[in-house]
């Protein structure tokens, strides 16, 4: 695997995915902000959480790029279609398993079984992250498809 | 039509995610799961015949007394019969999060304990669940571990009981007729699970521990109430009720746990209130913070500001507990409705209305929070400025107004004034360094709103502010002009407005919201919160003794356990509309806070006592 190449593609794909999700959030399609969810693991400050979150999310994007790179090598093919297909699986995993376990892992997120103790913590995302808006599954899935497609398009086996 | 209990016959239990309504004959007639706005499992409230219920009551004639265990939301119903007395204790178990990490808890659970107090009494236990607002057939069967089970898709209902229940009517219901003797203690534990392996409901010593733990949890919570003037019992009851209407995972507070309890018996004014109205924001926040419930207040404000992201910089008037903005309305034609009041509606079309007062409510809520020592971060500041900018663009537009009539838009005076409030509070927040806003533009627009309202929202022949600009009618929302800093409560214009409302809208001390055509047939009762506003305005105008006596009179309309619905019939005292209603209890609390302040016993927390940040 060409590590430098996949990391560079991973960086570009992460920026694209983050931008797309932030734009969807700003346009009111979803309240989901993965950088915010990640950043609030480290701090309760909303402003600083976004900064930490973008950094952590970028690192995540690079680590996942290595995984994608490994799979591209395994398949012996890196195309937009293969990348997009992996993005679909990745997105579905995040929406189902990821959103299911995050309330248990995140120190500032409650579960749907929380209460009646009052809280100032993050709401749980719910199944397919639907609690963050009806458009969340589509936006999240699309973002991951774009991420995978860009990796597939940029990386050469 | 079957006999329906009066609305005031109900009491509420809950776990801050869902709530059940229990009638005076200990019948759970309403319960929605897995959260307040989920489909109902017991629906007798809206259809006595086919709705389904879970009832425990003597088989013979009886008299009933009810109470909540002091400082708790644990209900006790005592039945006295010629042969003896029994007590039914009802609760949804709660505990702190630490306890719930040590023990496996059911997702949703109800515990019912029957205790023999005197003699021996035959009681009937009648269990008839109906899923999806009584639309989905259910089949009860015996579970290998001695429980009753009913399944539908990913949902499981389990009942564990010390009393052997007989399944009847092909699995549609289960029933038992035990004789309860002095000293007997029988338990029924019921649970609901959706989408997970079910946890068996508690039994025996474990269930008794849960009852004790629940009482202790609620007592610890109500002991935090810092209110220490007159009327403490009803204030604590109101606070406990508000708490029950809080959706703990998000901090949202719903208007009421019911849908379609009618504002007019047999009429069409039946709405779904299981959602969160932004209008209630500033009043609810003031009530929570000034009673010492800072965390609840901050959680609510945080929900308010961040759950509404999907629609900003515009605000909708209501959202669901997670901030979902689309709440399509439909009618449940298979239900006959409370005492024939149809249609039964789920969802709320009012979500599509434009009501400009919500901007003022949100800005004022943040201001209330800040003047009590809270802080806001930059993101919240930017959000608020976005709302302020929206107000400067929209305040001249007509809107549906605070009462949500379905008869179209008007230039509502109250909405204009709340736009004034929004800009006024944002200017104050800017001046105090909490945010950076284009205050020159805000000041210009704020002053223009005042000019327009004073010129066109005042009617000299009525000697009153008017419901809408250049429209010679009044409505009760004008009372709020005295509370929000727009009008001097002792000034001539506010005194005149109070007189007009007293003359036109008040009957037996209860205040209707309006008497003009709202596009719907039938009439309605007097509004609970408007009546409390009238008392507050009366007190602020300098008539303290009159206000105090009026307040005490209003309190007498509470039901036997201290709960209020949305409306009260001034002729009969009957409670009407969805029940219990958060807004009415908020009005009650805030009026008591104002009376306490005027009596020289202010309850407000001093600024700087809080250290929260949203």
- Element containing residue A73 per DSSP (H, E): helix A46-75
Distance CA B27, CA B54 (A): 5
Provide the percentage of residues in chain B whose pLDDT is more than 70: 98
Strands (E), B420-547: 458-459, 464-465, 506-507, 510-511, 526-527
Place of tokens 């995978």: A148
Least confidently predicted of B301-305, B375-379, B454-458, B608-612:
B608-612
Instruction: Average the pLDDT over B363-382 and give the result.
Output: 90
List C-alpha distances in Å: B558 to B6, B133, B443, B515.
13, 28, 43, 24
pLDDT at B607: 53
Q: Which of B243, B249, B377 sits opposite A47 (nearest CB)?
A: B377
Instruction: Average the pLDDT over B520-538 and give the result.
Output: 91
Report chain B's mean pLDDT, rounded to a whole number: 93
CB atoms within 10 A of CB B577: 27
Nearest to B25 by CA among B94, B75, B91: B75
CB contact under 8 A, B15 and A115: yes
Query: Chain centroid to CA B327: how far?
Result: 18
pLDDT at B509: 94
CB contact under 8 A, A133 and B243: no
Question: Comparing B120 with A125, which gets the higher pLDDT?
Answer: B120
Distance CA B88, CA B31 (A): 18
Distance CA B307, CA B281 (A): 13
Question: Comparing B612 with B28, which gets the higher pLDDT?
Answer: B28
CA of A134 vs chain B CAs: smallest distance (Å):
7
pLDDT at B123: 98
> In this complex, is the C-beta atom of A127 within 8 Å of any C-beta atom belonging to chain B?
yes
- Residue B614 above 80 pLDDT? no
Distance CA B311, CA B317 (A): 11
- Token pair for B437: 């806003």
Instruction: Average the pLDDT over B164-168 and give the result.
Output: 95
Q: Can the peptide bond before residue B401 be classed as cis, meaning omega within 30 degrees of 0?
A: no
CA of A3 vs chain B CAs: smallest distance (Å):
38
CA of B509 vs chain A CAs: smallest distance (Å):
36
Nearest to B468 by CA among B389, B394, B397: B397
pLDDT at B201: 87
User: At B433, phi and psi to the nearest 5?
Assistant: 80, 15
Nearest to B95 by CA among B106, B87, B86: B106
Least confidently predicted of B158-172, B394-408, B491-505:
B394-408
Q: Cα angle at B32 between B26 and B33, to 5 degrees? A: 120
The alpha carbons of chain B give a radius of gyration, in whole angstroms, of 25
- Residue B519 above 80 pLDDT? no
CA of A130 vs chain B CAs: smallest distance (Å):
9
Question: Comparing B603 with B527, which gets the higher pLDDT?
Answer: B527
pLDDT at B232: 97
Residue B347: pLDDT band with limits 50, 70, 90 = very high
Distance CA A123, CA B250 (A): 5
Nearest to B19 by CA among B43, B39, B36, B42: B36
Burial call B532-554: b when 16+ CB within 10 Å, e when fewer: bbbbbbbbbbebeeebbebbeeb
Bridge partner list, B80: B63, B85
DSSP B107-129: SEEEEEEEEEEEEEEEEEEEEE-
CB contact under 8 A, A31 and B309: yes
Residue B370: pLDDT band with limits 50, 70, 90 = very high
User: Which chain B residues in 362-391 lie under 8 Å from chain A, judged by CB atoms?
Assistant: 377-380
pLDDT digits (tens, 9 = 90+) for B478-513: 999 999 999 999 999 999 999 999 999 999 999 999
- Residue B281 above 70 pLDDT? yes
pLDDT digits (tens, 9 = 90+) for B168-218: 999 999 999 999 999 999 999 999 998 888 888 888 899 999 999 999 999
> In this complex, is the C-beta atom of A104 within 8 Å of any C-beta atom belonging to chain B?
no
CB B110 within 8 A of CB B20: yes
CB B595 within 8 A of CB B603: no
pLDDT at B87: 98
Distance CA B43, CA B48 (A): 8
CB B171 within 8 A of CB B140: yes
List CB contacts (< 8 A) between A115 and chain B: 15-17, 94, 246-249
Bridge partner list, B120: B181
Bridge partner list, B276: B319
pTM: 0.91
pLDDT digits (tens, 9 = 90+) for A11-30: 999 999 999 998 998 888 88
pLDDT at B2: 60
CB atoms within 10 A of CB B223: 11
Distance CA B341, CA B358 (A): 30
> In this complex, is the C-beta atom of B103 within 8 Å of any C-beta atom belonging to chain A?
no
Q: What residues contact B427, with CB distance under 8 A and at least 6 apart?
A: B437, B439, B442, B443, B446
| Pairing, β B345-346 against β B458-459 | unpaired
| B235 Ramachandran zone, left/alpha/beta (phi>0; psi -120 to 50) | alpha
Inter-chain CB pairs, A–B, below 8 Å: 90
Which one of B249, B314, B610 makes the best mutation probe of the A interface by having the most chain A beta carbons within 10 Å?
B249
CB contact under 8 A, B17 and A112: yes
Distance CA B142, CA B151 (A): 12
CB atoms within 10 A of CB B377: 18
DSSP SS3 for B20: strand
- Residue A111 above 90 pLDDT? no
- Residue A65 above 60 pLDDT? yes
Distance CA A7, CA B378 (A): 34
Q: What is the DSSP letter of A95?
A: I
CA of A31 vs chain B CAs: smallest distance (Å):
6
List CB contacts (< 8 A) between B379 and chain A: 46-47
Q: What is the DSSP letter of B301?
A: H
Place of tokens 């935090």: B224
Helices (H), B196-280: 204-223, 232-244
Instruction: Average the pLDDT over B257-277 and give the result.
Output: 94
Specify the length of chain A in residues: 157
- Token pair for A40: 């609030």
Q: What is the DSSP letter of B58?
A: E
pLDDT at B35: 94
Provide the percentage of residues in chain B whose pLDDT is more than 90: 78
- Token pair for B97: 């999060």
Torsion, Cα of B200, B203, B209, B211 (10° steps): 90
Q: What is the ipTM of this complex?
A: 0.75
- Residue B556 above 70 pLDDT? yes
Q: What is the DSSP letter of A97?
A: I
pLDDT digits (tens, 9 = 90+) for B102-123: 888 888 999 999 999 999 999 9
- Residue B612 above 70 pLDDT? no
DSSP SS3 for B74: coil
Q: Which long-range contacts (C-beta less than 8 Å, at least 24 apart) are formed by B137-140?
A: B137/B172, B138/B171, B138/B172, B139/B170, B139/B171, B139/B172, B140/B167, B140/B171, B140/B172, B140/B173, B140/B174
Q: Which of A46, A123, A133 sits opposite B310 (nearest CB)?
A: A133
CA of A119 vs chain B CAs: smallest distance (Å):
6
> In this complex, is the C-beta atom of A118 within 8 Å of any C-beta atom belonging to chain B?
yes
Helices (H), B245-377: 281-290, 294-306, 357-371
pLDDT at A32: 87
- Sign of torsion over alpha carbons B322, B328, B334, B340: positive
- Sign of torsion over alpha carbons B115, B119, B122, B123: negative
Which one of B295, B322, B325 makes the best mutation probe of the A interface by having the most chain A beta carbons within 10 Å?
B322
User: What helix, strand, coil percent values describe chain B, rounded to 5?
Assistant: 35, 20, 45
CB contact under 8 A, B248 and A115: yes
- Residue B1 above 60 pLDDT? no
Least confidently predicted of A22-31, B127-136, B466-475:
A22-31
Nearest to B303 by CA among B321, B283, B277: B321
DSSP SS3 for B548: helix
- Token pair for B402: 């605070």
Nearest to B516 by CA among B485, B557, B473, B550: B473
List CB contacts (< 8 A) between A114 and chain B: 97, 248-249
């Amino acid at each position: 695997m060409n590590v430098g190449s996949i990391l560079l593609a991973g960086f570009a794909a992460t920026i694209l995915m983050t931008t797309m999700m932030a734009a969807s959030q700003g346009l009111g399609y979803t309240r989901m902000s993965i950088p915010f969810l990640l950043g609030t693991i480290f701090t309760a400050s909303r402003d600083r959480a976004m900064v930490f979150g973008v950094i952590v999310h970028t690192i995540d994007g690079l680590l996942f790029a290595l995984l994608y790179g490994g799979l591209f090598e395994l398949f012996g093919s890196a195309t937009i279609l293969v990348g997009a297909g992996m993005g679909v699986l990745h997105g579905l995993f995040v929406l189902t398993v990821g959103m299911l376990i995050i309330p248990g892992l995140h120190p500032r997120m409650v579960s749907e079984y929380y209460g009646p103790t009052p809280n100032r913590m993050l709401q749980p995302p719910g199944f397919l992250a639907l609690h963050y808006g009806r458009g969340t599954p589509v936006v999240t899935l699309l973002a991951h498809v774009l991420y995978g497609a860009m990796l597939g398009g940029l990386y050469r086996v | 039509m079957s006999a329906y209990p009066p609305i005031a016959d109900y009491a509420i239990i809950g776990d801050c995610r869902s709530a059940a309504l229990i009638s005076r004959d200990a019948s759970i007639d309403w319960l929605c799961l897995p959260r307040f706005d989920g489909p109902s499992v017991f629906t007798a409230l809206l259809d006595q015949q086919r709705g389904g219920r879970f009832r425990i009551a003597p088989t013979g004639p009886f008299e009933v007394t009810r109470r909540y265990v002091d400082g708790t939301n644990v209900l006790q119903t005592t039945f006295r019969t010629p042969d003896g007395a029994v007590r039914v204790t009802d609760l949804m178990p709660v505990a702190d999060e630490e306890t719930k990490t040590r023990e496996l808890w059911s997702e949703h659970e109800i515990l019912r304990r029957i205790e023999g107090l005197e003699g021996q009494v035959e009681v009937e236990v009648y269990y008839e669940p109906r899923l999806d607002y009584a639309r989905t057939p259910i089949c009860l069967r015996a579970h290998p571990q001695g429980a009753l089970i009913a399944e539908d898709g990913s949902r499981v209902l389990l009942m564990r009981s010390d009393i052997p229940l007989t399944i009847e009517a092909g699995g549609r219901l289960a029933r038992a007729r035990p004789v309860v003797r002095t000293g007997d203690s029988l338990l029924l534990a019921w649970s609901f699970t959706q989408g997970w392996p079910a946890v068996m409901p508690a039994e025996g010593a474990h269930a008794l521990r849960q009852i004790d733990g629940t009482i202790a949890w609620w007592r610890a919570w109500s002991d935090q109430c810092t209110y220490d003037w007159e009327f403490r019992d009803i204030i604590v009851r109101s606070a406990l009720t508000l708490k029950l209407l809080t959706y703990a995972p998000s901090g949202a507070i719903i208007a009421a746990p019911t849908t379609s309890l009618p504002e007019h018996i047999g009429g069409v004014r039946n709405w779904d209130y299981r959602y969160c109205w932004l209008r209630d924001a500033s009043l609810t926040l003031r009530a929570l913070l000034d009673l010492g419930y800072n965390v609840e207040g901050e959680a609510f404000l945080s929900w308010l500001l961040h759950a509404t992201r999907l629609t900003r910089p515009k605000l909708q008037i209501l959202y669901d507990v997670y901030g979902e903005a689309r709440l399509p309305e439909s009618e449940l034609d298979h239900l006959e409705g409370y005492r024939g009041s149809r249609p039964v509606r789920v969802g709320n079309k009012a979500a599509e209305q434009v009501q400009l007062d919500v901007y003022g409510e949100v800005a004022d809520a943040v201001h209330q929070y800040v003047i009590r020592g809270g802080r806001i971060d930059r993101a919240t500041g930017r959000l608020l400025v976005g709302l302020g900018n929206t107000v400067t663009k929209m305040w001249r537009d007509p809107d549906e107004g605070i009462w949500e009539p379905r008869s179209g838009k008007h230039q509502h005076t109250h909405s204009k004034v709340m736009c004034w409030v929004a800009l006024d509070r944002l200017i104050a927040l800017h001046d105090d360094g909490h945010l950076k806003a284009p205050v020159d533009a805000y000041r210009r627009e704020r002053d223009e709103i005042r000019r327009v309202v004073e010129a066109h929202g005042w009617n000299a022949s009525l000697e009153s502010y008017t419901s809408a600009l250049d429209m010679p009618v009044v409505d009760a929302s004008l009372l709020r002009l005295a509370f929000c800093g727009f009008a001097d409560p002792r000034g001539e214009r506010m005194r005149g407005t109070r007189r007009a409302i007293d003359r036109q809208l008040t009957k037996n001390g209860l205040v209707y919201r309006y008497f003009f055509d709202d596009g719907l047939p039938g009439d309605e009762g007097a509004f609970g919160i408007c009546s409390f506003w009238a008392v507050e305005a009366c007190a602020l105008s300098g008539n303290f003794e009159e206000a105090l006596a009026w307040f005490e009179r209003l309190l007498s309309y509470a039901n036997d356990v201290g709960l209020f619905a949305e409306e009260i019939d001034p002729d009969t005292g009957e409670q009407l509309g969805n029940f219990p209603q958060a807004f009415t209890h908020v009005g009650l609390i805030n009026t008591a806070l104002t009376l306490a302040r005027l009596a020289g016993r202010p309850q407000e927390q001093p600024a700087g006592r809080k250290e929260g940040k949203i």
